[in-house]
Amino acid sequence: MELKLKREHWNIMRTQVQTHAPHEACGLLAGKNNRVEKVLLIENQAKSQAKFRMDPREQLEAFNWIDSNGLDLVGIFHSHPAGPETVSATDIEEAAYAATQIIWSRTKGNWIARGFWIENKLVSEVRLEVMDGEQP
Ligand SMILES: [Zn+2]
């Protein structure tokens, strides 16, 4: 499995997670057929270093935007500013959408992102392909 995104999408997410650290940051990715078309940033209402809860009003507006533009929810991202670089037990427990989960984590000041698919509490890795050909 893979999710294709543009460098621009990558940079928007990285800026968001960097700006909100040490708190977790989050957002939604809209697109079609495993291809991201738009990053929708959502406030982390929990304002926490260890969890996120999407602002419900912003989340609803984002879902409405996705619907009215004929797109699908293809990804959900959030950050782990202090690790781990994979989904946590809570992330697995709370996974509610058929969408790639992108985890941004920071090691020695460098942000990395990894994609995961969670289904029936089973986790598999989703390759994130940045379409300008550079490695993420
Ligand atoms: Zn998490």
Give the number of other Cβ atoms within 10 Å of residue 82's Cβ.
Answer: 13
CA of 50 to the centre of ligand 1 (A): 8
**Global pTM exceeds 0.75:** yes
CA of 66 to the centre of ligand 1 (A): 23
In the prediction, which pLDDT does 133 show? 56
Which residue ranges of the chain lie beneath pLDDT 50? 134, 136
In the prediction, which pLDDT does 136 show? 47
Report yes or no: 38 and 123 within 8 Å, Cβ to Cβ: no
CA of 60 to the centre of ligand 1 (A): 21
In the prediction, which pLDDT does 109 show? 85
In the prediction, which pLDDT does 132 show? 81
Report yes or no: 6 and 38 within 8 Å, Cβ to Cβ: no
User: Rounded distance, CA 44 to CA 63, Å?
Assistant: 16
**What are phi and psi for residue 56, nearest 5 degrees?**
-65, -35
What are the distances in angstroms from CA 32 to CA 22, 93, 96?
A: 32, 26, 19
Active site residues: 24
**Amino acid letter, residue 9:** H
CA of 48 to the centre of ligand 1 (A): 11
